[in-house]
Structure 1
């Protein structure tokens, strides 16, 4: 059974008209009639019932049409995918990063990845950690950048370390600790600390609470929902914000004073994560870029 014969059969089955099917395939009616007759002989059963009034599919013909139509569609998709790979036609990689992170954690990698894969379209959005994981699982994202504690207990998600940072504290310039460049964790015991909310970032909330306890005290936590909310609360003097010490935070707002957190169990560990059964070929390419970046 040749592909051209299959195409002619599908045309006749859909139009139920040999003349129209012949025009669609740029052949004569006699040619298409011979192809159908040859196919029926090859298969050993009739595909159409013909009379002077109309053409109709036999039950066997209808079954064959439905299955061949599906197979042809699948073959077209397979060929299209292979063409994209062979010609490097633009693909898409959907990236997301957590609201309790600054964008630097992922923006450092994107230009390097794009230099190596300049025909890949990248989309980038920010979500709360809990929403980020949910949307990774439903396919809205291919890869997410998220704090490592948020990934515990998700067996369908795999990840690699992206980066690890010490803690940078941000506070109002009027804060009692604002003149210090380094602050041991124990010196924070009498001050409110801005942290990710338990609702939106349950993993990080529990991690932070445990780290404070290992540092020797029970913290006064002020829950916030985003990176920007923490900064606002710090500017207003409501609490001390915790950030990864990436070098970008201190460049952003002159209304804040910054200090390094010392003598602590706290750190920022960030992972790139993706769904185990996601078949997007650019995930591996992105992760290879991450590995090369980290090995520099």
Structure 2
């Protein structure tokens, strides 16, 4: 029985990628005979053919394709384990990275974090602001400990768990020069008489697509909406008087210089916000923050 190492696995994956021993050898900085020797050792250890090799081509056998997938998973898990070991060595259980999307004042998050830190001053906290899609990716990869997210972004992902925090209804950002800015609320059908600015469905996250569908269900003609690539652009266009931008109410910014906010009077348009974490990363800090968020009074949105 041969004792395989990670370099052997990387060599095999290089051959599987290039289907060429010479190119794989160059990529791994070894000679072609050395590459052939390592592949032979792997096949000898497995007792099966993983590659069909001729002078002109290299092909993966069915067993080789299966091994390729497993070797890739092994290396990915190794890198994740190494990253986690380094993180724990540097920060231990007393470190928490929190991700969220939206304005810096979103849902009074600064006050929330300050209150949590006052109760647990030994936990170092880092905040990251990004898109919901990127936050979900980083949570899956173990680069974040917890994220605040719209429920549809994390639902159905096996390695993620979440707890419900609050239901967030919709509003529109309107230019202060508009007569609509004097209203406290507006019926959905009344928005059919103004230009609605939305994030482009083709580039938006699942949650933004979700709220677009709910706006349509509430009676708003979304086919006439102006679609742009980014959420920030919708607010900028509204401020410039080019229409009204739909937003979750928790995204309201107090004292905004250029826009006012008018609530959409409909219980059909909402987003459910959750706290999500990776089931493989249930550290003491994560569990303490989860419990704190469950007990926190989030208010009405």
**Does residue 160 in structure 1 map to residue 163 in structure 2?**
yes
Residue from 242, 260, 263 that aligns with 1:260:
263
What is the rounded CA distance, in whole Å, between the counterparts of 2:101 and 2:200 in structure 1? Answer: 13
Residue from 130, 134, 144 that aligns with 1:127:
130
Give the corresponding residue for 2:226. Answer: 222
Report the more deviating stretch, 191-200 or 166-175: 191-200
Give the corresponding residue for 1:282. Answer: 285
| Equivalent residues in 2 for 1:154-193, closer than 5 Å | 154-175=157-178, 177-193=180-196
What is the rounded CA distance, in whole Å, between the counterparts of 1:182 and 1:197 in structure 2? Answer: 25
Question: Cα gap change, 1:230/1:123 in structure 2, threshold over 3 Å: closer, same or farther?
Answer: same
**1:35-83 Cα shifts (integer Å, max 9, x gaps):** xxxxxxxxxxxxxxxxxxxxxxxxxxxxxxxxxxxxxxxxxx9xx98xx
Question: Cα gap change, 1:197/1:135 in structure 2, threshold over 3 Å: closer, same or farther?
Answer: farther
**Secondary structure class of the residue paired with 2:127:** strand
| Equivalent residues in 2 for 1:53-92, closer than 5 Å | 91-92=94-95
Report the more deviating stretch, 191-200 or 252-261: 191-200
Residue from 240, 244, 251 that aligns with 2:248:
244
**Secondary structure class of the residue paired with 1:177:** helix
Give the corresponding residue for 1:15. Answer: none
Question: Cα gap change, 1:167/1:213 in structure 2, threshold over 3 Å: closer, same or farther?
Answer: closer
Per-residue deviation, 1:126: 0.8
**Does residue 293 in structure 1 map to residue 296 in structure 2?**
yes
Using the size of structure 2 for normalisation, the TM-score is 0.61
| Equivalent residues in 2 for 1:28-107, closer than 5 Å | 91-99=94-102, 102-104=105-107, 106-107=109-110
Instruction: Give the greater-gyration-radius structure (CA).
Output: 1
Question: Cα gap change, 1:250/1:105 in structure 2, threshold over 3 Å: closer, same or farther?
Answer: closer
Structure 1, unaligned stretches of length 5 or more?
1-76
What is the rounded CA distance, in whole Å, between the counterparts of 1:101 and 1:115 in structure 2? Answer: 20
Give the corresponding residue for 2:212. Answer: 209
**Secondary structure class of the residue paired with 1:119:** coil
Aligned residue pairs total 211
What is the rounded CA distance, in whole Å, between the counterparts of 1:233 and 1:107 in structure 2? Answer: 27
Question: Cα gap change, 1:175/1:201 in structure 2, threshold over 3 Å: closer, same or farther?
Answer: same
Using the size of structure 1 for normalisation, the TM-score is 0.62
Per-residue deviation, 1:267: 1.7
The RMSD of aligned alpha carbons is 2.9
